[in-house]
Amino acid sequence: MPPPTPTLLPSLALFILFIFSSSTTSNAHNITRILAKHPEFSTFNHYLTTTHLASEINRRQTITVLALDNAAMSALLDKQLSLYTLKNVLSLHVLVDYFGSKKLHQITNGTALTSTMFQATGAAPGSSGYINITDLKGGKVGFGAEDNDGKLDAVYVKSVAEIPYNISVLQISQVLNSAEAEAPTAEPSQLNLTEIMSKQGCKAFGDMLKASGADATFNENIDGGLTVFCPTDPVIKGFMPKYENLTAAQKVSLLLYHGIPEYQSMQTLKSSNGIVNTLATDGANKYDFTVQNDGEVVTLKTKVMTAKITGTLKDEEPLIVFKIDKVLLPRELFKTVEAAEAPKASKSKHKAADAPESDAPAESDPADQSADNENGVAGLDGRRLVMVLLSFCIGVLLM
Ligand SMILES: *[C@@H]1O[C@H](CO)[C@@H](O)[C@H](O)[C@H]1NC(C)=O
Ligand SMILES: *[C@@H]1O[C@H](CO)[C@@H](O)[C@H](O)[C@H]1NC(C)=O
Ligand SMILES: *[C@@H]1O[C@H](CO)[C@@H](O)[C@H](O)[C@H]1NC(C)=O
Ligand SMILES: *[C@@H]1O[C@H](CO)[C@@H](O)[C@H](O)[C@H]1NC(C)=O
Ligand SMILES: *[C@@H]1O[C@H](CO)[C@@H](O)[C@H](O)[C@H]1NC(C)=O
Ligand SMILES: *[C@@H]1O[C@H](CO)[C@@H](O)[C@H](O)[C@H]1NC(C)=O
Domains of the chain listed by start with CATH number = 12-172 (2.30.180.10), 193-342+354-372 (2.30.180.10)
Per-residue pLDDT at 354: 35
Ligand 1 touching residue 192 (CB < 6 A): no
The sheet with strand 259-260 has its strands ordered as 259-260, 226-231, 319-324, 306-316, 297-301, 289-294, 274-276
Residues 6+ apart with CB under 8 A from 122: 312, 315
Neighbours of 275 (CB within 10 A): 16
Per-residue pLDDT at 49: 92
Mutate to test the pocket of ligand 5, among 195, 199, 200, 226 (most ligand atoms within 8 A of CB): 195
CA-closest candidate to residue 136, choices 105, 113, 114, 163: 105
Where are the strands (E) in 147-244, listed by range?
154-163, 167-172, 226-231
Mutate to test the pocket of ligand 6, among 236, 245, 354 (most ligand atoms within 8 A of CB): 245
Residues with CB under 6 Å of ligand 4 are 111-113, 132, 134, 150, 152
Per-residue pLDDT at 45: 97
Residue nearest (by alpha carbon) to ligand 4 atom 8: 111
Per-residue pLDDT at 309: 96
Ligand 1 atom nearest to CA at 21: 4
- Alpha carbon of 109 to ligand 3 centroid (Å): 6
- Alpha carbon of 371 to ligand 6 centroid (Å): 29
Per-residue pLDDT at 185: 78
Per-residue pLDDT at 70: 97
Ligand 1 touching residue 136 (CB < 6 A): no
Per-residue pLDDT at 1: 44
Per-residue pLDDT at 353: 36
> Along the chain (399 residues), what's the average pLDDT of each consecutive run of 10 residues?
48 44 56 97 96 87 96 95 91 95 92 90 72 94 94 96 96 95 79 89 96 94 91 96 95 97 89 91 89 90 94 87 96 67 40 34 32 33 45 48
- Alpha carbon of 324 to ligand 4 centroid (Å): 41
For the packed helices 203-212 and 233-244, what is the interaxial angle rounded to 10 degrees? 40
